[in-house]
Amino acid sequence: MTATPSNDAGFRVSLQVDIPSDVAYIERVVDLVRHPCAELAYNAHHLALNVPVALSEALSNAILRGNHEDPGKRVRIRADVDGQRLIVEIADEGDRFDLEANTRDATDAANIEREDGRGLFLMRKLMTGVERFDASPNGETGNVVRLTLTRA
Amino acid sequence: MSFSIKKQGEIVVVDVEGQLIVGNRQELKQKVLDELERGEKKFLIDFAQTGYIDSSGLGVLVSLSKKIREQGGELRLANLNDDLRTLFELTKLDTLFQISDTRDRALSSF
């Protein structure tokens, strides 16, 4: 009989995924990132709501707004998961944007009936942290959005 | 992921199986708009078999609700699990839609 560790201390999964700028890949990336979270017994709400929705939003933004679905551009995803937290970085090749300026309060009465504008709002509600930084300090384009989810 | 549409009395019932996200939202929108164009007025979307919904999916529901209301009709929702209900509450879309716990309650509420 193989001894089983009493906890997941030291257990860590790192993933790198590279996809074309096509929204058809979103669900597969979500499943790839969600799997190690499930393995590490992240709670049911993290697995069914926080991770899939926030990651879908970040991927969708990178593919549609960053890369404009350009087949010549790629989206790169790097995920690190351990027992304490999940960090996912989503990199596009698009024009730089201001995370703060583009986050709209979706619950404002003026915005409730809008079809768009809930993506960044939801990412920030569902993740412990959302940051954006330049993909390359020397280049003029490219964003990295980092999602952090800390287990309570 | 797929959408199935059936009539129950005078109500068009749409089942969302799998995710409602940016990759398939237009399919749902078109299916419902086709029914609206045929003269249907009462719509129920049932999420009993739905995984997760992203902001594009929510946006399509908002858009359909507006279009159906403009034609004098009504869109109602049913069977949101705890996580989907949280999503609607976070965005306050629970104040925009009439949401029933079960399909039967939703059908009898029209």
Interface of B with A in 21-50 (CB under 8 A): 21-23
d(Cα B106, Cα B46) in Å, to the nearest integer?
9
What ipTM was assigned to the predicted interfaces of this complex?
A: 0.93
- Domains of chain B are 2-109 (3.30.750.24)
The pLDDT mean for chain B works out to 96
Q: Could you please report the per-residue DSSP string of A43-81?
A: -HHIIIIIHHHHHHHHHHIIIIIISTT-TT-EEEEEEEE
Report phi then psi at A99, rounded to 5. -60, -45
| B54 → closest Cβ in A53, A112, A113 | A53
d(Cα A87, Cα A144) in Å, to the nearest integer?
12
Instruction: Give tens-digit pLDDT for B80-100.
Output: 999 999 999 999 999 999 999
| A113:B23 CB<8 A | no
- Domains of chain A are 14-150 (3.30.565.10)
Strands B11-20 and B2-8 turn out to be antiparallel
pLDDT tens series, chain A, 152 aa: 444 455 677 899 999 999 999 999 999 999 999 999 999 999 999 999 999 999 999 999 999 999 999 999 999 999 999 999 999 999 999 999 888 888 889 899 889 999 999 999 999 999 999 999 999 877 788 999 999 999 97
Percent of chain A whose pLDDT exceeds 90:
74
